[in-house]
Structure 1
Amino acid sequence: MWRLDIPRGTDRYFVRPAPSGRVAVAADLDASSFAFFDLRGSQIAWFDAHGLDIVWWKWLEDSSGLLMATRTYVNGTATTELSVFGPYRGNRTVLGEAGTGPDEPVLSPDGRWLGFTTECCPQRIVASRLDGTERRLLFTSPVRISLLGWDARSRVMYADARQLHWIGLDSKPSDEAAIDLGLPAGVNAGPVRIIEQSPDRGAAFIGMFADRTFPGAGSNNYGIRRLVGDRLYEVTSLGQIVGWLNDREFVDSRRPPVAVDILTGSIRSLGVSEDQLQPWALSGRILLAQGNKTEMYVLRLGVDDHYRLLDVPGNLHCCPAPLGDGLFLFYGVDGWLYVVNGEVAATP
């Protein structure tokens, strides 16, 4: 285990690693600035946000920079404006007005476009190039809709009260498609979103609320469907997705952990007999589980049938972020970031 030589998180500094775990940002709320660091501790970029009324910010899915929403006014009406910046995106580039929260804007598979919606109603689906050179209106709806994301063909997916739709960037009829959400007559979907999508975007788990109960729904009229290509299937059970083994199989968090095929729904054993620990994260072939607040365990998938105690100080917060190759990134209670080598820890 080793500590990263980047700024320590405090009441003033919010330190957040990128999804890749290979770069981190330190947001200085007092100075309204963002400093970017690699994992060697070198500062690789800096951005001055002084004077901007920031509503929220988050990392882009490809870890190339930050997406930020700032409060602005259009024709006297308050709204929010999206922009991107960061170590691999350059200075701030304004993408346009968007009445959306941080969970909705979605990056295209090639990393060139951002899809988002405007305030309702009417509600519009817009795709903007992240370099700011182009903005396309893809669809306008007189009622509220849900933007889900992109599929493997770089089509935008959205849902209305009864159907799931696809539309292409070029608005070609050949790219357009729609399927029924499978709700009974008289039942309408409310918010619909992608819970998890396969790495190749060929399949996904879709969660939806409805105004009445429907087959497979639980409390609050909420249910999950499995989307494969252009077909929806009911889901018998789904725990937490710990990590992906390949483009179609993921590790499910049940005890003991199993591999689930998102395309077929089939389950296979991972050869783990230990059923007392909760699987939490996957990095390479290393599966990490948590016991109590301070005890964590690792095993090598395909090699071990029991976990081995991870010998680390008790000052690490859950929840670890996988870096790949058996490495995990932890927050320490002291505000520093630490890297733990799970491959070494799991080897007798």
Structure 2
Amino acid sequence: MRITVLTVPDCPNGPVVRERITAALYGRPAEVELVEVTGPEEAERSGMTGSPTVLLDGVDPFGTAEAVPSVSCRIYRHADGEVDGAPSVAELRRALAGAGLAASVAAYDDCCAADAVDTVDAVETVDALDLVGRDGRGRLAPVEGGLRAVHQAVLRHFAATGSAPEAAVLEPVAAASGRTAVEVLAELAREDFLTLGPDGRIRAAYPFSAVPTPHRVSIAGGTQVWSMCAIDALGIPAMLGRDVVITSADPVTGESVTVTGEDGRMVWEPAAAVVFVGRRGGCSGPAAEVCCDTLNFFTGAVSARTWIEQHPEVNGQIVDRDRAEEIGRATFGPLLSGD
């Protein structure tokens, strides 16, 4: 399949849609081409009805009858009514399936199809990236309104100090966009890039937590941080480009689970450890409230299944080490590189 991304030069949503396409493909081979369109005539020839436009073998799966060629920003409306500058990962996956890449979707949804072992078991078909990544919209904040600059400043402060920055520290960054730090933080919280406490202070900026959690992460260089969940912890080395040591505990047995980064390779102890990725059924709201405390390390699949039986209100799936690491990379790897 040939995937073409049509954008105007410097379109802020171009990198976003490319990252989501990569996540939607989940390693399946496909030719992805980026084409910059500079004028209305070229937009008409290429089939661009706003930037970015995604074509699958030359067809726009998100096109509408009333759409016209355009070099303006394109707006995508999700099923929940929210608008975005790019299709979600889930929407791209459905489009790829409709265009003939159904095998990639099946391989991603069925955890144990690719790993025919007893240690990995699907509880319910769930898009794991959607669970941790703002329902498929990803965690890379938009450039507009200083959101990305402030968000990245928050993440870098966590990585350097192990704690959340005060709003005053972020004022110079927000001021560059003509806004206050309080305004930008409130918008980031509304869009679930971070969470704020009743006092307006940052309580979490995924993958980091300002308050203790079961997941402690030691970053090479000496900083120690708390992560919001198991997947968040696994995303930290990809986001920072540094090795880490993750220490957690099986919520059923209390036994320790340790993941150690060694030259970019993750070593798990015990080797049979798995991660459960899920969320509470019927719940909506920030990830911190509906799913973070369900994304845990377990010493093995038996323990994870025991936890699942004890929590019938939670839907999700058990994933093996490779899959858990991949979800962490896909979710958090781009956050500090997408300047």
**Normalised TM-score (structure 2):** 0.30
When Rg is computed on C-alpha atoms for both structures, the one with the higher figure is 1
- Greater RCO (CA < 8 Å, at least 6 residues apart): 2
More strand by share: 1
More helix by share: 2
